[in-house]
Amino acid sequence: MKAKVTRRTLLGGSLVAGAGLLAAACGQPVATMPAEGEAPAAEEEAKPAEETTAMEPKKVVYLHYTTTQAVWEENFGQIFDNFRAQFPEAELQVDAVTGGFGVLIEKAVASFAGNVPIDMYYGHFSYISQFAQQEMIQPLDPFIAKDADVAREDFYDHALEKIQGQIYGIAWFNQGKEFWYNADQVTEAGLATPDELVAEGKWTWDAALEFAQKLTKREGANTTRWGFFYAYHSTGWFGHHLKAWGADWWNDDISAATMDTPEFAAAVQAAQDLVVKHEVSPRISSPSENDAKASFEEETLASRLASGANTRSFQAN
């Protein structure tokens, strides 16, 4: 016999389907007891126990983010189809936004402030903590505990977004930041590839700098092709750079900042040198109008750090 689907079990079951870092929304209405001296509402005729779930909502509202790329639409379309097949009695309402996570955050916050119900959000580590601090989302632990098909042990620890020991998100995919390079430009320059240097044990940050210098092209004072770029202006991305120098933003238990260490200073200096001293990476602020815009897809950028999620963009171009 198939169990009836309540909003709670829908949220729990959807963890298997997966959608970003799933975040279950807070703010669902709860029944309240009448205040002292207040007359209770007139009792209605008792209904059979099996009909009590009829009053529970059957619609699940999901605030989704889309890149509008075919591979993104196809994969999430399959996820949504699987959910609807598993829970045919439920209505899944997908409200999709695009144009950057800022658009999703703005809509999520506005909906929450206006008491517009959203059951789940497409989550991302860059804003999950903000939603949790504003009590827009609740921990997923209770849903996992009550779902016979899902267990905490089913997921790698690094695929869980946790705050103070509680799970607020489960990643539907995970990746690192890889070094990408234009193979044609490397061949044209007669350089050994990073893969070859790795095999020889020679791939270091110094080797990456030399690699970028030889791939950078200029016409007079203007740069027509940049040798290397990564989002060093982003605190999240810069963490990768910091760790290469044995530094980090915080200590292991995040009880104290470690931005005053010699290792941190050396990492910052190395990143700054890529832009100011060696001029292999573009300026983020006040770029020269005469320099080429660094674009890996348009071949005005020879190499970069990027996550595997960028594969769809690289393949499309």
| pLDDT tens-digit map of 292-316 | 998 888 999 999 988 777 776 666 5
- Tell me, what's the pLDDT at 286? 67
Fold identical between 7-27+56-170 and 177-316? yes
| pLDDT tens-digit map of 60-93 | 999 999 989 888 899 999 999 999 999 999 999 9
Q: Is 287 helix (H, G, I), strand (E, B) or coil?
A: coil
pLDDT band at 173 (very low <50, low <70, confident <90, very high): confident
From 3.40.50.620, 3.40.190.10, 3.60.20.10, 3.40.50.450, which CATH number describes the 177-316 domain?
A: 3.40.190.10
> Taking a C-beta distance cutoff of 8 angstroms, is the pair 7, 57 a contact?
yes
Domain locations along the chain: 7-27+56-170, 177-316
Global pTM exceeds 0.75: no
> Taking a C-beta distance cutoff of 8 angstroms, is the pair 80, 87 a contact?
no
Could you tell me the sign of the dihedral formed by the alpha carbons of 234, 205, 189, 179, in that order? Answer: negative
- Superfamily name with CATH number, domain 7-27+56-170: Periplasmic binding protein-like II (3.40.190.10)
pLDDT band at 125 (very low <50, low <70, confident <90, very high): confident
- Lowest-pLDDT range of 42-51, 117-126, 182-191, 224-233: 42-51
> Taking a C-beta distance cutoff of 8 angstroms, is the pair 105, 127 a contact?
yes
- Tell me, what's the pLDDT at 24? 63
* Ramachandran assignment for 165, one of left (phi > 0), alpha (psi -120 to 50 degrees), beta (any other): left
* Percent of residues, the chain, with pLDDT higher than 70: 80
